[in-house]
Structure 1
Amino acid sequence: MSAATTFTVPPELSATEPPEARGVARDGVRLLVARDRGPLQHTTFRGLPRALRRGDLLVVNTSDTEPAAVDGHRGDDSPVTLHISGPAPDNLFVVELRTPDGRRVTDARAGESVRLPRGVVASLLTAHPDPRVIEGSRLWRARIPVAGGLRPWLTDVGRPIRYSYLRGDWPIDTYRTVFAKPGPEFASAEMPSAGRPFTPAVLADLHSRGIGVAEIVLHTGVSSLEAGEVPLPERYQVPTDTADAVNATKEAGGRVVAVGTTVTRALETVADPAGHVRAGAGWTHLVLGPDRSARTVDGLVTGWHEPTASHLLLLEAVAGPRLVGRAYSAAVDRGYLWHEFGDSCLLLTSRTAYRPV
């Protein structure tokens, strides 16, 4: 994070429950619109279509959210919560251990077993991503043998991953966006939350104003990155129709607006130095930041991230440190709410549109 984006979030700005529990509709959360030219604007998410222009293209993530938290016990019988971040090679899974009150477990060791519901046992094999670590890793590669498959078991015994700032237990549908499409593979460990405020009414307004919507998939792992920790590889798919829509939008002078850091990472993974994108799928290792700025994404719909989050470097790679810093300073001053059930921001740049040679 640059010096331009330096801030402190007061505890009272954490959204501790879904907006619906506060009497606010999904699309009724606040929206800060920040352009690199002109003043900041404060509206609600229902006003998003009015902040865009005919010919712009929104790109959304259709990844579903898994009930990826399971309660269990360690070898000494102490309670623990296992977060399943996603698949790893050799039929393994990347997992994280948390205490029942949400703190990271710092003394887990390779070879340890965790007893889970219905007789399932998770075996921690090696630290992730560095297998040389023997003790104290945040993430582990684990074997979780489940008769009948992991996902049906999770449907019965799992719940959404939740952190200590949240109050209450909320059903899995609370953690799904309007775009979520269940599929055959393990999806996101946590909700692609930038898309949560979208509703059919917002989508209808976008359509009526000539603003397009295209889809990608990026399955995200646990979001509990520590200070200085870079994003880990994630699975993505950018279909041909979306690549064509992005390129046509750029050629016509429109703006490509990513809904969330997940969409930004996927699109930029398949963007060439001129900003032209191609269809693609696989694992992305791309880290956007000072050494790699955005090439094709002109704007970003996003929630509000913690001061030490690597997501801020991605935001700066799209919109620049000055604009991101202005937006975050205003959000703190005006009491915007943080985290997955909080308020939203639209960052828009005036980057020169891509023109094919």
Structure 2
Amino acid sequence: MMSSARSFQVPEYLNARTPAEYRGIQRDHVRLMTLDTVTGECTHNFFNRLDSYLVAGDLLVLNNSRTIPAVLKGKRGRQIIEIRLSRKLSDKEWEALIVGGVVTVGEKIDLQGGLTATITGLGAEAPLIVLSFSKSGLDLLEIFYRYGEPLHYEYIETPWPIEMYQTVYASVPGSVEMPSAGRAFTWRLLNRLKEKGVNIAYLQLHAGLSYYGNDRWPHPNKHLEEFSISAETAGLINKTKKNNGRVIAVGTTVVRALETAVNAEGKIEPQKGLTNLYIQKGYPLKAVNGLITGLHEPEASHLDLLSAFINKGLLMKAYKEALADGYLWHEFGDMNLILPMSERT
């Protein structure tokens, strides 16, 4: 993790605890900081003016993974157990985090709806474990939606409903954390972009846990996430690149998926699979030209990925400007567009 990422702190009052809708504004009225990757120029606007930075022939690639209620409460004897789902392994198996207490392989946890979960092994990295549920497929997903709660971290004090953790275009259930870079989009804004000639494509990357608690974060090279890129989306991206258009990823999840799927010739290949791709300073981006993302905390590996787009000194200068200007952090916060503005035609 880049050392300069730790050179700033986000004060408590800049942690966005409340969705935009509950702050009296529309989703797309959050603020937007733009960064020119060529000149380093930093400007400020609102997200509903995104169309003023994009041109006909640009392509936005969105992650339409839908957030599931990933927090389950159960009992192990008399002890209350909190399960945080992380990654689906099969129709009945998930990697998960058990919050509090010591876990033993073979133990069973009783959950609501007549569901039980058995600890069958260790996950890809500590402290994750593997759970095998007594139900599978749609029956299991229905239990999650009926009894589960959306995952939220300490800076969120209100139990917001699952709808607040969805993008408007989310359609394929599987993420345990909202792919939050797309939260600020509204259908009105998307339609306005299309009318301007900006194209839209979708893929899925099911986001896993980004934080394990107690100052523990996933190891960048062990953080496996499932993704799927259709032939239609691959074709749109390859056509855009052939026509010298800009491919703009909406979220670091989209960057990881596309950079995993790009071949040696720079073309995207349709595929499904897992990615543990870790992108940092010096990584040769072959699939994407720009990025729409939120504002990331100092410890997040997302900042390493951002430094593949723009000089980290310029990035940290802009972040300090955002702090001084009162930008809001995290999934309900403000947005950042990182793009070579000089390439606009």
Give the equivalent residue in structure 2 for 1:2: 2
Output the amino acid matched with 2:305: L
TM-score (norm 2): 0.90
Partner residue, 1:346: 337
Inter-partner Cα distance in structure 2 for 1:284 and 1:71 = 29
Q: Distance in 1 between matches of 2:183 and 2:44?
A: 19
1:167 to partner: Cα distance? 2.1
Q: What is the distance in 1 between the residues matched to 2:218 and 2:122?
A: 18
Give ranges in structure 1 of 5+ residues lacking alignment. 99-104, 131-136
1:292 has 2:311 as partner: no
Tell me what 1:13 maps to.
14
Check 1:174–1:127 CA distance in 2 against 1; reply closer, same or farther (3 A cut).
Answer: same
Question: Could you tell me which amino acid in structure 1 is paired with residue 59 of structure 2?
Answer: L
Aligned counterpart, 1:190: 177
Structure 2 counterpart SS, 1:111: coil
Q: Extract structure 1 runs of 4+ deviating beyond 4 A.
A: 350-353
CA distance in 2, matches of 1:352, 1:17: 36
1:42–1:139: structure 2 CA closer, same or farther, 3 Å change rule? same
Distance in 1 of aligned mates of 2:163 and 2:107: 33
Report which stretch shifted further, 288-297 or 65-74: 288-297
Matched, 1:142 2:144: no
Q: In the alignment, which residue of structure 2 is the partner of 1:102? A: none
Q: What's the counterpart of residue 221 of structure 1?
A: 208
The one-letter amino acid paired with 2:108 is: S
Instruction: Return closer, same or farther for 1:87/1:227 CA change in 2, 3 Å cut-off.
Output: closer
Map of 1:86-125 to 2, 5 A cutoff?
86-89=87-90, 91-98=92-99, 105=100, 107-125=102-120
Counterparts of residues 1-357 of structure 1 (less than 5 Å) = 1-5=1-5, 6-36=7-37, 37=39, 39-75=41-77, 77-89=78-90, 91-98=92-99, 105=100, 107-130=102-125, 137-146=126-135, 149-182=139-172, 187-224=174-211, 226-227=216-217, 229-230=219-220, 232-290=223-281, 292-349=283-340
Q: Judging changes above 3 Å, is the alpha-carbon distance between structure 1 residues 82 and 340 closer, same or farther for their aligned structure 2 residues?
A: same
* Secondary structure in 2 matching 1:329: helix
Shift of 1:268: 0.6
Instruction: Measure, in 2, the Cα distance between the counterparts of 1:92 and 1:228.
Output: 20
Q: Structure 1 pair 330/274, CA: closer, same or farther in 2 (3 Å)?
A: farther
* 1:106–1:170 distance in 2 versus 1, CA, 3 Å: same
Which runs of no fewer than 5 residues in structure 2 stay unpaired?
Answer: none
TM-score by length of 1: 0.87
SS in 1 for 2:175: coil
1:129 partner amino acid = A
Question: Partners of 1:338 and 1:262 in 2: how far apart?
Answer: 18
- Whether the 8 Å CA contact 1:4–1:325 is kept in 2: the answer is yes
